[in-house]
Chains A and B, each alone.
Chain A
Amino acid sequence: MPGTVIETRELGRRFAGVTALHALDLTVGAGEAVAVFGPNGAGKSTLLRLLATLLRPSAGALRLFERAVNDGGAAARRRVGFLSHQSFLYPDLTPTENLDFYARMFGVARPGERVRGLIERVGLTGWAHRPVRTLSRGLEQRCALARALVHEPDLLLLDEPFTGLDVDASAMLAAMLRETHAGGTTLLMTTHDMARGFEVCRRAIVLTRGRLVWDGTIAGMPDDFERRYHELTQPPTDPTLSTQHSALRTSR
């Protein structure tokens, strides 16, 4: 399919005998913004780490940008940005030094110029030369977003990006994500904050116990979706219900 950014076929991952992700089929087109919802332990972070090539699949196939990821993922990583609740920033370096380091690691042309532009864009000009260790959580997350965008990725993966942020910082991050998406970047975001998910994304998938149980449009239907989400993610009281959960999967 032309313009496909993510394509997984029966993608699975096991950790020490426990299946974290089970036979996931997912296709995400270029320019989409997809929220990944699910309770704790549903396999959301595992999915993102597989897509970021930080984990190897135990089963199935993964294609990024219409190419199979079978070379360790170095080529795909050049086009993928990853923002987690961990910032991946060195606390003893300043935002400028951190961004300059990552820009050079990604082979960005004219890294100094790119870093100055990003620092300004995320509103860190006044903190550009202070160690990351001294920044508040909100400022650090803004810097982490700049880190994830330093190489102008075509796909931005976001793993609980709003965790630990206050209301204002969350709103600012959501605005930045909308702006990034408007610029043509494909987003895939896991979050427990449904309101923020609705704000940034038009499509959602729901994972529970490592399985995809819902995939559809969420624009304009927050109440319906929340009710449906709670039905889908109820822990089964009877083992046979897990089979019914799989059957609840809907197509877009």
Chain B
Amino acid sequence: MLALLRKDLQIEFRTKETLAALLLLGLLTLVVLSFAFDPTSELRGEAAPGALWVAVIFAGVLGLNRSFLAERENDCLQGLLLCPVDRGTIYLAKTAGNFLFMMMAQLVIVPIFIFFFNLPVSLGLGGVFLSLALGLLGFAAIGTLFAAISVRTRAREVMLPLLLLPLAVPIFIAGVKVTGHMLAGKPFAEVKPWLNLMAGFDVIFLVVGWLVFEYAVEE
């Protein structure tokens, strides 16, 4: 699993294609949404969590779409499937790679989000990153599975969001709620049920992906 993750990181740090796409789309979405609200309006603060998650989702779908493209070139996915490792292990490594790339992008996107939405830098930032980490883990878990399925279809750019987004909606709703509460400086206990929900979905998506991936990559 570590060899596969290392290979994905090696390719990404050499080409920077996925990270660049994630950052560019995420930042563009945030900039456009920040101009949609009056800077003095309270609505701007209330809409901020939703804006962050819209940027995360758009950029995430783009990143997931790219995650199996490197495996398509020279039919590398077949080479991977020839290795004597459990297909579930391949899934876990690809999921870990996607999760890492999305989290790396958040390290740049979140500070810019705080700047554009004029939010106070508070202790709630740790909670924001916690909600992003839990949300993106589930998103990567189910997204990696669907990316493996859609990469062999002709309309993969359309197919992936169509399959993925309806299933990931509970994670996004919980993510918006947790981010909003944390930015408003509310106590951690108030968001605990939402965090539990996200963690529950993460576990379900990871287990389902691990079990089903073998059939997703089989001809």
Contacts and interface: CB of A to CB of B under 8 A. Distances in A.
Given A74-B86, A97-B10, A89 B76 contact: yes
B219 A55 contact: yes
B75 interface: yes
Interface string A87-125: 111111100010001101111000000000000000000
Contacts of B86: 72, 74
B214 A72 contact: yes
Contact of A77 (B76, B84, B214, B219): B84
A88 B83 contact: no
B4 interface: yes
Given A52-B82, A92-B15, A84 B87 contact: no
Nearest to A73: B84
A88 B10 contact: no
Interface string B206-219: 00000000100011
Given A86-B74, A87-B74, A93-B10, A74 B79 contact: no
B196 interface: no
A86 B15 contact: no
Contact of A72 (B78, B79, B87): B87
Contacts of A54: 78, 81-82, 219
Q: B interface, by DSSP: helix, strand, loop or mixed?
A: helix
Contacts of A107: 84
B70 interface: yes
Contacts of B11: 90, 92-93
A90 B219 contact: no
Interface in B1-54: 3-4, 6-7, 10-11, 14-15
Given A55-B219, A90-B73, 14 more contacts: A72-B87, A77-B82, A77-B84, A82-B82, A84-B75, A86-B74, A87-B74, A88-B82, A90-B11, A92-B11, A93-B11, A101-B4, A101-B7, A105-B83
